[in-house]
Amino acid sequence: MPEETIEMTKKALHRLRAVEAVAEGRLKQGQAAEQLGVTTRQVKRLVAAYRRDGAGALVSQRVGRPSNRRLKEPVREAIRALLVERYADFGPTLACEKLREVHGMAVSVETVRGLQIELALWKPKRRKAARAYQLRARRGRFGEPIQIDGSPHDWFEGRSGRCTLLVFIDDATGRLVQLGFFPAETTAAYMQLLRAHLERHGRPVALYSDRHSIFRLTREEAANGHTLTQFGRALAGLEIEAIQAHSPQAKGRVERANQTLQDRLVKELRLRGIDAMVAANAFLPEFIADYNRRFAVAPSIEEDAHRTLAHRPRELDLLLCEHHERVLSKNLALQFRNVLYQVRHDGPGYRLRGAKVTVCALPSGEVTLLYDGRELPYTTYRKGEHPPPPADDKTLNARVDAALATQHRTSKPGADHPWRRPAIPGAATAAPSPAAPAV
């Protein structure tokens, strides 16, 4: 008769050794109960079962059988259908959240992951060998600093043109404080989002960014005597420290947020049928509230580091815009973007001749002339075409998309087109004759 093979876990093997010792009189029942973490009465039952049926009596009868808590097959089939039809490219965590919130199916993330693996919808990512970076603890207070970045991406998955999402995230809490869709990552876009942050929260201690030319001078600008970019000048006027990161890993909080947004926000826009920046910007407050509820943490110091905004709306208008310096001529005129401006003055205006004037170009198209902090009245005498602004790697796509939207494709002229009509009225269009052979 072949010997019987019994598969046992480490826990069952430990129980068998204790029960054998009690059955052979090498161990007392109280000592065995203490080792196994059960009562003395349970040890008596185990010893009796061992003497009656042998070692097999100590193996759980549930081994190899499905769990009693396993989902019923109709429920599993319904989840499979939803994963294939609606959430084929969702990660396990996000798919689990949608199943619970939208369909009322409370299942675990690992159950969803297992079903996705079964349906070949999920493959674990192979991580690269990560370079070691020095860890940095979160700052203690909300608003010191705010990490900012732009994330160009196909946010509408081809339903509309590509655009850029600007992200403001707090370092201390991981809270998204501002989001905004814009055609490209530009100084004007950052100033617009910064103004929304200032009006809602006040002035943060610092803004932590990358080393894009929006935040850091290029070599050519520094060689021409410039000391600050347009955005840096606005931050200096608001007494906000501008800090640039040495590497993407240094501002990892906003970089990781970008990855999460490119996954979750894209899918939320798809589920709601949003395919335009206006509708997407209207949806962002709801998304921010849900994101912060899931991922934000409490600051280690409850005090808010933001300072009160003391600037009036008109002062913010003139601060958060482009500034350019011009010198007034003898007749108190200057030229800016092919437009001639002449300052109106009650007196002779000798004092303003040769004066340096700041030209403020507001996003609305308004132009304001400032001298010693005062607005100067002016008259426009000549207008010309504005020269196109230079493009960089982050604005090129937006410029090309705008050109495609305004240009018309050429088509083949119709039969009645003037090009197809004969030059002399009444003359017939003769078919071309074959070339005569050369003599």
Range with lowest mean pLDDT among 42-56, 67-81, 123-137, 191-205: 123-137
pLDDT digits (tens, 9 = 90+) for 332-366: 899 998 889 999 887 766 788 889 999 999 998 89
- Model's pTM, two decimal places? 0.70
Average pLDDT rounded to a whole number, residues 406-410 = 64
Residues 6+ apart with CB under 8 A from 77: none
Q: Which of 135, 138, 187, 175 is nearest to 319 (CA)?
A: 187
As a whole number, the mean pLDDT across the chain is 85
Q: What is the pLDDT of residue 389?
A: 67
Q: What is the pLDDT of residue 438?
A: 47
- Under the banding of pLDDT at 50, 70 and 90, the label for residue 439 is very low
Q: Which of 60, 393, 85 is nearest to 212 (CA)?
A: 393
pLDDT digits (tens, 9 = 90+) for 31-49: 888 888 889 998 898 888 8
Name residue 167's beta-bridge partners: 149, 179
Q: Are 322 and 187 in contact (CB under 8 A)?
A: yes
Measure the CA–CA gap between 291 and 298, rounded to whole angstroms: 14
Which tokens is 358 given?
């700041």
- Under the banding of pLDDT at 50, 70 and 90, the label for residue 436 is very low
Residue 97 or residue 132, greater confidence: 97
Q: What is the pLDDT of residue 321?
A: 93
Q: Are 154 and 275 in contact (CB under 8 A)?
A: no
Q: Are 368 and 406 in contact (CB under 8 A)?
A: no
Q: What is the pLDDT of residue 433?
A: 47
Percent of the chain's residues with pLDDT above 90: 50
Average pLDDT rounded to a whole number, residues 92-121 = 92
Element (H, E) at 9: none
- State yes or no: pLDDT of 430 exceeds 60: no
Measure the CA–CA gap between 237 and 229, rounded to whole angstroms: 12
- Under the banding of pLDDT at 50, 70 and 90, the label for residue 150 is very high
Average pLDDT rounded to a whole number, residues 149-173 = 93
Q: What is the pLDDT of residue 36?
A: 85
pLDDT digits (tens, 9 = 90+) for 277-288: 999 999 999 999
Which tokens is 190 given?
């950052």
Q: What is the pLDDT of residue 189?
A: 94
Q: Are 47 and 71 in contact (CB under 8 A)?
A: no
Q: Are 184 and 398 in contact (CB under 8 A)?
A: yes
Residues 6+ apart with CB under 8 A from 48: none
Average pLDDT rounded to a whole number, residues 6-31 = 83
Q: Are 263 and 94 in contact (CB under 8 A)?
A: yes
